Amino acid sequence: MVERRSELNRRYHRKKKLAKLKARLAEAKSNSEREAILKKIHTLSPWWQEPAPQN
């Protein structure tokens, strides 16, 4: 059970961290800032794709 708990804690922490990074990405002003945030997101979740802008 201990292994399962640590696995769940990792997952929950990753989910929170991704939510924060996605919020920062939405507010990013410069292109270099966006690239830095995207790099961090891809270290956590390599297959994550930025959603297409809705017009």
What are 12-55's pLDDT values in tens digits? 999 999 999 999 999 999 999 999 999 999 999 999 998 887 77
Q: What is the mean pLDDT of the segment spanning 2-19?
A: 96
> What pLDDT score was predicted for residue 53?
78
What pTM was computed for the model?
A: 0.82
Place of tokens 């292994």: 3
Spatial contact of 15 and 27, defined as CB atoms under 8 Å apart: no
